[in-house]
A and B are shown apart, each in its own frame.
Chain A
């Protein structure tokens, strides 16, 4: 091997070594890049795995747990990205909704980016569906001066905000922010965060739908309950049931207080029912006036009250009333009242959903008020009718009552004058005088009782249902009518069932019915062609659940053609009759849940009878 050869070999070897070294170096270099690339790839894979896991996990979370799941997800993603804050700000029409927040310990909460007062530029872009991101605040354009100041104030150095959208309107904003250091938000990361935001948005959407479905169901149930309660409500139960209904509505709405206001037809008087007795309409004149004009009144802060609402303002302060919303109650075009709820939450007081619910609830309450007014009207009419009936029956009874009253008065006068004579004698017989005075006292009491009975009969009163023994009712009427029967040469007798169940009813009104039927019988027996002048009042058990009272006369009987009409008002076959007696009897019996009827007797005359449900339970 020559030197040259040696040199060539050496050169070749050197070249080879260099080349090898170069290859090695190249190879070495390639490996580092690959490792770095692998590392980047691995991290990206881990993040994608996290996102996939979070997205998949959110699908199975129950609607009620979604907020908690989102918070966990924020923490995981935030930690992974090494940021300081993460927020999901739910956005509902009319105002902000729930905020889900995660932050490193010690960091104060950041303001909501959808607050257009603090972040007008960012909020606007988010609303348009754009992503807002900046690594340094000086990246923000000149028009974002307010936003920049706001970020500065809370110490945000870098931030990314993505709109949450699931096909429909914007549901909220997902934000991550950095406080300790500036950091970049490369496109790839934003792209992945966008995937995360989609998973978040669909979870929020699902939560919202399920909650609103559940709420709607609860609302429908509430409406059905209230409607059922009010549709069969007597005026007497109104106060109690309105209180209950208000409690239900307040529970449903999750507010503190509720009240129902009623305006009278002349608009001069108002009444209100409230939970916790806080609502006296007189203390909120400005609100009441607006309600009466049919306006919705919503007050979130005292500052919203105009100057003319000074009285209202004082009342708000005095009652510590928080935000309040009042809706007018309309029947046709008439404002019959208002529904007022307080402490609804500043944001909720203005939400469309609440207004929609209040409008529907308002209809239910408006109907209740209108029904109550109608019922009261009917009750007043019934009361007037029975009063007329009693007074006219009084006229017919005047003769017998004069007799009833004059007997004890006669005895009193004669006794007193006899006593005067005894006292004028030379020797006064004190024993005799004492006896006379005793008799005077007894007769005076007797006269008092007649007056009392008379007054009870004329009294214009409301229905006062009590537990009654109808035998007593019949007995009292019979005592009252006894002398009338005598005068009319009627032989009146009672056939009372011994085992009569008690009934629930108004004593005076039922006496009125029996009185009217007996007077009716008397009249029928006065007609030419009447029978032997006997009248029987019977009481009897009618099946298991009813009690019957029958007044059997021996009069001229009923003409078939009158049968349908005789219980109607102002229908009479008597020359002097008002035609009210039987109509009143029927009105009263109807109000007691009973039935009234009449039939001819096989042996002449007619029997008028009515039945009442047995039992002393309060009927609805």
Chain B
């Protein structure tokens, strides 16, 4: 689907580890960007292409778990593989609950690492596709007028035209016209499809 090689970010405070992982991943055909500290990585501009992050848990300053939380709080989706020398249960539970793809123990065997990266990139691509679709839907929603948006929001709740007319205090015929425009602008062939689009885009229905 995409011609460019996926980008793997490596964050580890140990220069030897950074260098060797970079070497290994490059030899496996990935493009690698390595960072010595979590802050440096967070400061990097967002990458639009398929990628994942190999993150050391234990670092001076922000730890791996801190990075995961910071990204989540900023709404930045990222497939994360944690690497740690010392696995403790509470830490792994926390990391996995927050959506880590995997948690590998150091020293990491290339087989495990490459498999995890493959999964992480796939997840990234999948989620990235989802993201694109949602953005598209949101773009369509933006083309709706205020009245059409209101009608859209009520249609997907399963209301009949008469009920919508009553709720909005307009004529039933007007509702019908708005509804047809919504179906057209949202490129929905049926009400069921319209409901699915709304669901995917997470349209919040104003229930005034």
Pick from B23, B58, B109: contact of A403, CB under 8 Å: B58
Which of chain A's residues 422-454 have a Cβ closer than 8 Å to chain B?
422, 436, 439, 442-443, 446
The interface-forming segment of A341-349, A407-415, A578-586 is A407-415
Q: Does A402 lie within 8 Å of B86, measured CB to CB?
A: yes
Residue of B nearest to A486 (CB): B60
Proximity string of chain A (395-419) to chain B, C-beta cutoff 8 Å, 1 when within and 0 when not: 0001100110111111111110110
> Nearest chain B CB to A374's CB is how many angstroms away?
44
Q: List the 8 closest pairs (A to B, CB-CB), nearest first.
A: A406-B85, A414-B20, A411-B16, A421-B27, A406-B106, A413-B107, A418-B24, A402-B86
Given A409-B106, A486-B59, are A415 and B23 also a contact pair (CB < 8 Å)?
A: yes
Q: Does A414 lie within 8 Å of B85, measured CB to CB?
A: no
Q: Does B19 lie within 8 Å of A411, measured CB to CB?
A: yes
> Nearest chain B CB to A412's CB is how many angstroms away?
7
Pick from A403, A421, A436: contact of B28, CB under 8 Å: A421
Q: Does B107 lie within 8 Å of A410, measured CB to CB?
A: yes
> Nearest chain A CB to B64's CB is how many angstroms away?
12
Q: Does A402 lie within 8 Å of B85, measured CB to CB?
A: yes
Determine whether B53 belongs to the interface, using a CB cutoff of 8 Å to chain A.
no
> Nearest chain A CB to B92's CB is how many angstroms away?
14
Bin the interface of chain B by size.
20 to 34
> Nearest chain B CB to A422's CB is how many angstroms away?
6
Pick from B58, B59, B106: contact of A410, CB under 8 Å: B106
Pick from A406, A412, A436, A486: contact of B86, CB under 8 Å: A406
Determine whether A487 belongs to the interface, using a CB cutoff of 8 Å to chain B.
yes
Question: Could you list which residues of chain B lie within 8 angstroms of chain A, going by C-beta atoms?
Answer: 14, 16-17, 19-21, 23-24, 26-28, 58-60, 83, 85-86, 88, 105-110, 113
Q: Considering residues B21, B26, B27, B60, which has the most beta carbons from chain A within 10 angstroms of its beta carbon?
A: B27
Given A398-B86, A486-B58, A486-B59, are A418 and B16 also a contact pair (CB < 8 Å)?
A: no
Determine whether A483 belongs to the interface, using a CB cutoff of 8 Å to chain B.
yes
Instruction: Give me 20 A-to-B residue pairs in the complex whose CB atoms sit less than 8 angstroms apart, sorted by A's number.
Output: A399-B86, A406-B106, A407-B16, A407-B85, A408-B16, A409-B106, A410-B20, A410-B83, A410-B85, A412-B20, A413-B107, A414-B20, A414-B108, A415-B20, A417-B24, A417-B110, A418-B20, A436-B23, A486-B58, A486-B59
Residue of A nearest to B88 (CB): A399
> Nearest chain A CB to B105's CB is how many angstroms away?
8
Q: Does A483 lie within 8 Å of B58, measured CB to CB?
A: yes
In the bound complex, residues from chain B placing their C-beta under 8 Å from that of A483 are: 58
CA distance A413 to B20 in the complex (A): 8
Proximity string of chain A (551-592) to chain B, C-beta cutoff 8 Å, 1 when within and 0 when not: 000000000000000000000000000000000000000000
CA distance A438 to B60 in the complex (A): 27
Q: Does A410 lie within 8 Å of B60, measured CB to CB?
A: no
In the bound complex, residues from chain B placing their C-beta under 8 Å from that of A414 are: 17, 20-21, 23-24, 107-108, 110, 113
CA distance A524 to B113 in the complex (A): 38
Taking A407-B85, A413-B108 as given, write out 8 further A-B residue pairs in contact, using a Cβ cutoff of 8 Å, ordered by the A residue number: A406-B86, A406-B105, A408-B16, A410-B85, A413-B109, A414-B110, A421-B28, A443-B16
In the bound complex, residues from chain B placing their C-beta under 8 Å from that of A412 are: 20, 107
CA distance A413 to B86 in the complex (A): 17
Q: Considering residues B16, B109, B113, which has the most beta carbons from chain A within 10 angstroms of its beta carbon?
A: B16
In the bound complex, residues from chain A placing their C-beta under 8 Å from that of B26 are: 418
In the bound complex, residues from chain B placing their C-beta under 8 Å from that of A446 are: 16
Given A417-B110, A418-B27, are A439 and B86 also a contact pair (CB < 8 Å)?
A: no
CA distance A409 to B83 in the complex (A): 13
